[in-house]
């Protein structure tokens, strides 16, 4: 046979003698050694080439990643030029982009580069602008330079704040999102007084104006910002646009009663109990609420019911368990008339008591 192997027949014959068997094994060992001698340089050479290429690729990736991690590289991208321009002249002008935008921990840089190459670059190339959710700036990144704010009371831009008490568990850009990129920030956030008040009230902290506000009297404070809308010359029409949950911070509990006829904001159970109050002659629900949108949107019927509703309600109510009716009425109200076979309805559509026949007014029952 080829390659110097003995023929199968000869091999079978020779294997019956020790000398033939040893000769066959020796020939096979020589052939295996020859193959290794010829192929080893080829295998070794190919391995070196592959390894060298892999090293070159890794080096190029590292160099490209490092070069692309500079602020100049970030700003050279057309999609990021507005953010780079906004930094000019700001306190953060000389701060590297990565100093603020990397996540905490050892995985921060590789994770951000993966996001940058896999998401940011394609978005910039094909969509022309950044896309996807905005990543919050790491609290530790800010504290690398601004750790002193945790040791003292900060007075800035007319506000006084104790960061070590007020910023627990918060990221800095919850209030300072525009300090670096200004108006071009994709998620601009600034301090919101209502959020501060909510925390102050729940924790029992002080809520006097001068505790947090500096250098302005009450008139000056109400003349700027959202307060000029809810407390300005058009306050009668606009004051409800704010969150009325915080009106009690400055106003007494009965402050709204003189105009609205009841305390505001509505108590927690008002959705269940408001029916009786809404039927009173002095009710003024429509001062704040669009009746068609709010009342009828919830009840699914004209509210309050028109005078003719009693005599016509059978066309609306499918049964005593009708879900629309059950929003306000108990089934016992239907049973008193329909199962006792008493029909006290009068010709004007008002409801009479099924026992005495007396006409009931608004608020006297279901």
Residue 251's nearest CA partner among 270, 230, 277, 274 is 230
Mean pLDDT of the chain: 75
Q: Is the dihedral of CA 234, 236, 239, 241 positive or negative?
A: negative
Q: Where are the domains of the chain?
A: 2-67, 71-191
Residue 2's pLDDT is what? 43
- pLDDT average, residue stretch 198-207: 85
Residue 153's pLDDT is what? 92
What is residue 247's DSSP assignment? Answer: G
Cα(327)–Cα(120) distance, integer angstroms: 51
Given a cut of 80, whether residue 317 has pLDDT beyond it is yes
- pLDDT average, residue stretch 110-137: 74
Cα(343)–Cα(339) distance, integer angstroms: 10
Given a cut of 50, whether residue 359 has pLDDT beyond it is no
Residue 23's pLDDT is what? 67
253-261's contacts with Cβ under 8 Å and 24+ in sequence apart are 259/287, 260/284, 260/287, 260/288
Residue 103's pLDDT is what? 76
pLDDT tens, residue by residue, 46-69: 667 777 788 787 777 677 666 666
Rounded to whole angstroms, what are the CA distances from 128 to 78, 114, 121, 123?
8, 19, 10, 6
- pLDDT average, residue stretch 270-290: 83
- pLDDT average, residue stretch 100-119: 79
Cα(97)–Cα(105) distance, integer angstroms: 17
Given a cut of 50, whether residue 350 has pLDDT beyond it is no
For residue 117, give both structure tokens: 């190459």
Residue 249's nearest CA partner among 208, 299, 292 is 208
Given a cut of 70, whether residue 81 has pLDDT beyond it is yes
pLDDT tens, residue by residue, 170-184: 889 888 988 888 888
Other beta carbons less than 10 A from residue 308's beta carbon:
10
Residue 267's pLDDT is what? 82
pLDDT tens, residue by residue, 161-172: 999 888 888 889
pLDDT tens, residue by residue, 294-313: 888 888 888 888 888 888 88
Phi, psi of 160 (to 5 degrees): -120, 130
pLDDT tens, residue by residue, 11-52: 444 444 456 656 666 776 776 666 666 555 655 666 677 777
Q: What residues contact residue 321 under an 8 Å CB cut-off, 6+ apart? A: 331
Pick 153 or 43 by higher pLDDT.
153
The CA R_g of the chain, rounded to the nearest whole Å, is 41
pTM over 0.85: no
Residue 14's pLDDT is what? 45
């Amino acid at each position: 046979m080829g390659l110097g192997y003995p023929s199968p027949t000869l091999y079978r014959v020779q294997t019956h003698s020790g000398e033939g068997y040893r000769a066959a094994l020796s020939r096979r060992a020589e052939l295996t050694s020859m193959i290794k001698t010829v192929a080893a340089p080829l295998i070794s050479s190919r391995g070196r080439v592959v390894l060298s290429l892999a090293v070159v690729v890794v080096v190029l990736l590292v160099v490209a990643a490092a070069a692309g991690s500079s602020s100049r590289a970030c700003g050279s991208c057309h999609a990021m030029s507005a953010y780079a321009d906004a930094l000019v002249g700001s306190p953060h002008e000389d701060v590297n982009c990565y100093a603020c935008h990397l996540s905490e921990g050892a995985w921060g840089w590789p994770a951000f580069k993966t996001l940058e190459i896999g998401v940011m670059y394609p978005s910039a190339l094909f969509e022309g602008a950044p896309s996807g959710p905005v990543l919050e700036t790491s609290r530790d990144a800010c504290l690398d330079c601004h750790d002193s704010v945790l040791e003292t009371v900060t007075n800035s831009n007319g506000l006084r704040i104790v960061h070590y008490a007020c910023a627990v568990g918060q990221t800095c850009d919850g209030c300072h999102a525009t300090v670096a990129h200004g108006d071009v920030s994709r998620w601009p956030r600034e301090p919101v007084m209502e959020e501060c008040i909510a925390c102050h009230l729940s924790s029992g902290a002080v809520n006097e104006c001068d505790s947090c506000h500096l250098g302005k009297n009450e008139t000056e404070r109400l003349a700027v910002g959202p307060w000029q809308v809810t407390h300005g010359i058009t306050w009668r029409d606009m004051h409800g646009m704010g969150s009325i949950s915080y009106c009690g911070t400055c106003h007494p509990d009965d402050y709204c009663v003189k105009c609205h006829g009841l305390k505001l904001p509505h108590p927690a159970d008002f959705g269940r109990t408001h029916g009786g109050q809404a039927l009173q002659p002095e009710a003024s629900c429509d001062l704040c609420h669009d009746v068609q949108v709010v009342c009828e949107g919830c009840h699914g019927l004209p509210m309050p019911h028109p005078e003719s509703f009693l005599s016509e309600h059978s066309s609306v109510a499918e049964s005593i368990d009708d879900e629309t009716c059950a929003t306000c009425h108990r089934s016992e109200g239907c049973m008193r008339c329909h199962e006792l076979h008493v029909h006290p309805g009068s010709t004007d559509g008002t409801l009479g008591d099924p026992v005495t026949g007396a006409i009931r007014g608004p608020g006297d029952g279901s």
